[in-house]
Amino acid sequence: MDRIHILDKDFEVSIKNETIQERVKALAERINQDYEGKNPIIICILNGAFMFAADLVRYLTFQPEILFARFSSYEGTETTGQVKEVMGITTSLAGRDVIIVEDIVDTGITMYNVLPLMRQKGASSIKIACLLQKPEKLQVDLAIDYCAMEIPNDFIVGYGLDYDGFGRNYKDIYSLAK
Ligand code: IMP
Ligand code: MG
């Protein structure tokens, strides 16, 4: 499927699953080198990162614990872009290495606000692994340790990412049609 229609918008395929898999595998190899023999906690940020996390962890050669968390952001209402933990972590992070797995870093505000929450829980190290980043849109000082792909400033769906709740199921990534 090269074109899809979701609600009122048309999207065209921009990153095929074969490419996604190559990039995810290459990212996993970097993570494998850094965490060999360790048992970090991987936190998959719902909803968008579910597919990326599912593929990423299958390429890992160490033994992580895998947890899930969900945050809601108050976009538009607050310039600080505060996030609220909607589904939190109940496992202790004290003294643990944590890898946050996120679908996409856009303005970076979500991750910027999530990091202190993880630090408060006592993690000894925290790294961010994202599938995608839009470098042109980054608004905050955020170190992204692992990023599979950088993309231009387009709105995308598929491979976990949604437009108004739909489109997450596609194995390829689609951009808004011009
Ligand atoms: P940030 O706080 O601006 O970095 O936004 C990050 C969140 O916005 C991601 O976790 C996504 O859920 C969502 N997001 C950003 N860009 C896109 C996109 O192009 N398509 C779908 N969701 C997006
Ligand atoms: Mg997200």
Q: What pLDDT score does 75 carry?
A: 54
Residue 161 Cβ < 6 Å to ligand 1:
yes
Mutate-to-test residue for ligand 1 from 6, 15, 51, 104, highest number of ligand atoms within 8 A of CB = 104
Set out the domains of the chain in order of their start, with CATH numbers: 17-152 (3.40.50.2020)
Span from the CA of 106 to the centroid of ligand 1 (angstroms): 5
Residue pair 92/67 in contact by the 8 Å Cβ criterion: no
Q: From CA 88, how far away is CA 151, in angstroms rounded?
A: 29
Q: 1-4 long-range CB contacts below 8 Å, 24 or more apart?
A: 1/170, 1/172, 3/177, 4/157, 4/158, 4/167, 4/170, 4/174
Burial (CB count within 10 angstroms: exposed 0-12, middle 13-18, buried 19+), residue 176: middle
Q: From CA 18, how far away is CA 23, in angstroms rounded?
A: 9
Q: Whose CA is nearest to atom 13 of ligand 1?
A: 104
Q: What pLDDT score does 80 carry?
A: 56
Q: Point out the ligand 1 atom lying closest to the alpha carbon of residue 109.
A: 2
Q: What pLDDT score does 53 carry?
A: 99
Neighbours of ion ligand 2 (CB under 5 A): 48, 103
Q: From CA 44, how far away is CA 77, in angstroms rounded?
A: 26
- Which phi and psi angles does 77 have, rounded to 5°? -80, -30
| Residue whose entry in the numeric block shows the structure tokens 């719902």 | 46
Q: What pLDDT score does 155 carry?
A: 95
Q: What pLDDT score does 178 carry?
A: 85
Residue 16: both structure tokens together: 């095929």
The reported pTM is 0.95
Q: pLDDT tens, position by position, for the chain (178 residues)? A: 899 999 999 999 999 999 999 999 999 999 999 999 999 999 999 999 999 999 999 999 999 999 999 998 765 444 456 788 899 899 999 999 999 999 999 999 999 999 999 999 999 999 999 999 999 999 999 999 999 999 999 999 999 999 999 999 999 999 999 8
Residue positions annotated with a catalytic role: 106
Tell me the ligand closest to 115's alpha carbon. Answer: 1
Q: Whose CA is nearest to atom 11 of ligand 1?
A: 104
Q: Point out the ligand 1 atom lying closest to the alpha carbon of residue 106.
A: 4
